[in-house]
Structure 1
Amino acid sequence: MPLRSTRVAIGALAAAAMLATAVPASADDGGRQRHVNHVLLLSVDGLHQQDLAWWISHHPGSALARLADNGIDYSNAKTTFPSDSFPGMVAQVTGGSPKTTGIYYDDSYNRALLPAGTTNCATAKPGTEVTYFEQLDKNLNSIDAGQGLTGLPGSILSMTGSPEQVIDSAQLPVDPKTCQPLYPHQYLKVNTVFEVARAHNLVTAWSDKHPAYDLLQGPSGNGIQDLFTPEINSRADAAGDDWTQANSLTQQYDGYKAQAVLNQIDGYDHSRSVKLGTPAIFGMNFQSVSTGQKLPTSDGQPGGYLADGVTPGPVLADALSFVDQQIGRFIAELKKHGLWDDTDIIVSAKHGQSPTVPAQLTRIPDGPIIDALNKAWNNAGHSGTLVSFSIDDDGMLMWLSDRSPTATGFAKSFLAGYSGNGNDINGKPKPFISAGLATIRAGAQAAAMIGVPVTDSRVPDLIGIAQKGVVYTAGTSKIAEHGGDADTDRDVPILISGTGFNRSRTVDQPVATTQIAPTILHLLGLDPNELQAVRTEHTLVLPTVG
C-alpha cells in the first residue's frame, strides 16, 4: 500500500488530520525597491525548521547553507492547520487559510456536492467524499496517470503539462448547480499567484505529485502554463512498490521533477520541447524528505530520526543530501544562463511530520474506533451510520450524517471515553486513552476553530487534536505522519534567498506560510492585493524582505 492516508467512508477504514487558521503576523515589508523577474519556489515536504538548521550547521558548504548566507531565514514559521499537503500548498500560492480557500484536505467531504457519476441531479441526495488525490487518475498504477506513454518511467518528461487530460471525470464530485463534474481547480474559492502572473502576461510553471494538483491552476483553470504532475503513488517497480515505499525510489521520482525545473530554467517547458521562456513563478515539490521520515526502514537502513528527535537517521540524512544536491543544480543552472542575479529562491514546506522522537510514537488503527462509534450510535437507539466520512493521519476529522448537537456531542463523548492498545516504535503493544486525542472539538466548536459558520458545507463536524506521538495507521508501515497540530507538523522553514539580500539574516518573529504568496508578488514588483485571500485575511508580505 502507498504511504498515504487510509480513509474511512461509511463503515470502512480511515486516515487523518487537523485544522486551524493562519498564524497572525505583524509585518513590514521594509519598502524593498529591488524587484526580480523570476521566483523559484521549492516545497520540501516534511522539512522542519530544525532540519534546515541542523543541515546548515553540519554542512556549511552546502547549497542550502549558501542560500542562507545570502537571504532571510524565518525561524518561527508555521504552516496551516490542518497540516495536509493540499491546504499547505494552497496557502503558499493564495495567501489564504482553509477558512478562505475552502481547502481542508486532499480527501475530504462536502455536504452540498453530489456523488461522482451522478447524472440525475434533480433527485440525487447531496453529500459526498471529495477525492482529490490519486483516485482521480485515469490509471493510478502508471506514473503518467494513464496518458499512455511508452518507455516509462524514463519517458515521463513527455507527460502532458495539462493534467486535466489525465483526470478521470467519472471520479469527480458533481456540482448540483450545473450537474457537471467539479475539477480540483474549480473547488478552490480564491485565485492564485499563478493567475495573477498570467494576468500580467508572465510565464508560469509548477511540478507536483498528483494530477489532482490541477487545483493550483486556480478557479480560472488557466493559472499554470506548464503543470507537470507525475503520479507518485503509481507502481514503480516489478514488485508492485510505489514511489514512496523506498527512499531510493522517491529520489528517482523527485529527480524527474528536478529535471523539469532545470528545463524550465533553460527557457523550455518541462519536456524541453516547447520554448516558453524562463517562468516568472515556478518550482516543485520534493517528497524524498517526507518518505525518509515516514519509513521505518528503507534500502536496509533505518528511517526517521535518532533517539534525540533532532539528528536525522541514515535514510533521512541521505534524503536531505539529495534535496540539497538538486538545489545546487538549480543554482548552477541559473548562473549558467545569467539568471542568478535576477531570481529569488524560496524554500519552505507544505507540512512537517510527527513525531520526530521515536519513543513518542503510538500507532493506532482508526478503523475499529469508527466502527465502534457507529455501533454505539445504533445501540443508543439511532438508525443508520453516524460517520459519513473520516480522515485520520495524526489527528481526526469527521463528517457526520447527523449534525445535531445531540449527535456531535455523542461522538465527542464516545471518543473521549475510548481506550485500547496501539503499538510503539518497535511494534510492541502500547495502551492509549481518549482515542489518542488530547482535545476534541465538535459541532459549533469545530466550525469556530476553522473560522467558518457551522452551516458551512465543507467544515468537519468533529476535529480531534492528537496526543503527542499518535499516528493513526494499521500495522507498522509508518513511523510519522502529518495533518495535525503538533509543533513538528507545523514548524516549517521559510528561507528566502537572492543576491539582492546581500547578507544573512534571521527573523524570529512568528510568520505563516500564507505570507509566501504576497511575498512572491512583491518580489516580482506586482501588487499582493491582487490576491483575493490576501484582501480577505489581510495577509502581509514577510517582514524585512525589503
Structure 2
Amino acid sequence: MKAVLNEIDGYDHSRAHKIGTPAIFGLNFQSVSTAQKLPASDELEGGYTAKNVPGPLLAKNLDFGNVKIGALTSEIAKRHLADSTTVILSAKHGQSPTEPTALTRIDDGPLLDSLNSAWRKIHPAAGDLVAHSVDDDAILLWLTDRSQAATEFAKKYLLAQSGTGTDINAAPKAFTRSGLSKVYAGKTAAHYFHVEAGDARVPDIFGLAQYGVVYTGGTKKIAEHGGAHADDLDVPLVVSGASVPDGVRDSASMQTKQIAPTILNLLGLNPRSLQAVREEHTTVLPVR
C-alpha cells in the first residue's frame, strides 16, 4: 500500500506518519433502492404512501440501514478510531416518483416497435432504426443511423405518440408525447452531456420523462431512476467524524461527484490526481 501511495502525486508523507497508512472501507445498501421500486414484499407495501412519506417496506429498510451504520460507527468508537476516521453517507441516485398518485407506467416496447416500423416505411431497404435502448424514467436510444435527419425523425415521432399505460393500481391511465416532456436529439443530446457530437457513448435520443412516468412492460415497478427529476437527483449527503464539526447543516448546493476528491483530500492525497477533477474543476466538500 505504501509503495502505491508513493507513486500518487501529492501524497502528504508527514500526515501519513501521524495517522499511519490510510484505508478506505465501503458499504452499499441496495435494500432501500429496492423498497422504493417494489409495489410490495413480505406482505409490506413498498414505495411511498404520500409525497416523500415512506411506506412500511421502505421504512423497514431505512431502519435496517440505520442499524448497520450505527453498528459501524459504534465499532469505530469502541476501537478509539473516531479521531482518525471520517464517514461519508450518500446515495448515487434516488427514485421517481416519490408521489405515488403520479405514477404512469408505459410499455416502451410497442413505442420502439412502432418507431422502427415508421422508419422502415420511408426507408424500405433499412433495418430497425433503434440499435439499443435504455428506458427507465427516461428514454435513451442509440440509432443505427446517427444522421441529423434520423435523429430528428425519431424525436418528432416519439413526441407525436399518445396511448394508455397504467397507474399505481394497474388501472388504465392515458399518456401523451410518449410520456416525454422534452427530447434532445443528435447534437443537442451530446451538448446536454457536455461532450462533442458523435461521441459513441452518448445516446442519439435522450428523452426526459414527464413526472411520474416509468417505462416498463409490467406492473412490478412503481419507481425508477436514470432521469433528471429532483426525485432522481436530490439525495442526502452526511459527513461525520474526524475534523468534521458536529451538528452543522450546510444549505449550499453540493454534488456527489465531490465525494471522491474529498476522500483523497482526507487521506492526504492530491484530489487533482483524478482526471475528472482537473477537467471539471471539482472542489472538495467543506468538511473542515
On whether the aligned pair clears a TM of 0.5, the verdict is yes
Matches of 1:198 and 1:524, distance apart in 2: 15
Matches of 1:201 and 1:488, distance apart in 2: 42
Is residue 95 of structure 2 the alignment partner of residue 353 of structure 1?
Answer: yes
Extract unaligned runs of 5+ from structure 1.
1-194, 203-276
Matches of 1:201 and 1:304, distance apart in 2: 47
Deviation, structure 1 residue 504: 1.1
- The one-letter amino acid paired with 1:472 is Y
Equivalent in the alignment of 1:540: 283
Contact 2:155 2:205 in 1 (8 A): yes
- Residues 465-508 of structure 1: CA deviation (Å, up to 9, x unaligned): 00000000111101011111010000011110014323211111
Equivalent in the alignment of 1:409: 152
Deviation, structure 1 residue 200: 0.8
- The one-letter amino acid paired with 2:90 is S
- Of residues 231, 234, 238 in structure 2, which corresponds to 1:491? 234
Q: State how 1:20-419 maps to structure 2 within 5 Å.
A: 199-200=4-5, 280-307=23-50, 309-382=51-124, 383-419=126-162
- The one-letter amino acid paired with 2:69 is I
Deviation, structure 1 residue 319: 0.4
- Residues 166-225 of structure 1: CA deviation (Å, up to 9, x unaligned): xxxxxxxxxxxxxxxxxxxxxxxxxxxxx9x983169xxxxxxxxxxxxxxxxxxxxxxx
- The one-letter amino acid paired with 1:493 is P
- Of residues 247, 257, 264 in structure 2, which corresponds to 1:521? 264
- The one-letter amino acid paired with 1:464 is G
- State TM-score, norm by structure 2: 0.92
Identity %: 55
- The one-letter amino acid paired with 2:176 is I
Deviation, structure 1 residue 337: 2.0
- The one-letter amino acid paired with 1:376 is A
- Residues 342-378 of structure 1: CA deviation (Å, up to 9, x unaligned): 1000001010000011100000011110000000001
Matches of 1:416 and 1:498, distance apart in 2: 50
Aligned residues: 275
- Residues 121-180 of structure 1: CA deviation (Å, up to 9, x unaligned): xxxxxxxxxxxxxxxxxxxxxxxxxxxxxxxxxxxxxxxxxxxxxxxxxxxxxxxxxxxx
Judged with a 3 Å threshold, the aligned counterparts in structure 2 of structure 1 residues 374 and 363 are, in CA distance, closer, same or farther, namely: same
- The one-letter amino acid paired with 1:477 is K
Equivalent in the alignment of 1:480: 223
Equivalent in the alignment of 2:15: none
- The one-letter amino acid paired with 1:485 is A
Greater helix share, structure number:
2
The structure having more radius of gyration, on CA atoms, is: 2
Equivalent in the alignment of 1:219: none
Higher relative contact order (CA closer than 8 Å, sequence separation 6+): 1
Deviation, structure 1 residue 322: 0.2
Is residue 284 of structure 2 the alignment partner of residue 505 of structure 1?
Answer: no
Judged with a 3 Å threshold, the aligned counterparts in structure 2 of structure 1 residues 503 and 376 are, in CA distance, closer, same or farther, namely: same
Matches of 1:318 and 1:487, distance apart in 2: 24
Extract unaligned runs of 5+ from structure 2.
8-19
Contact 2:88 2:240 in 1 (8 A): yes
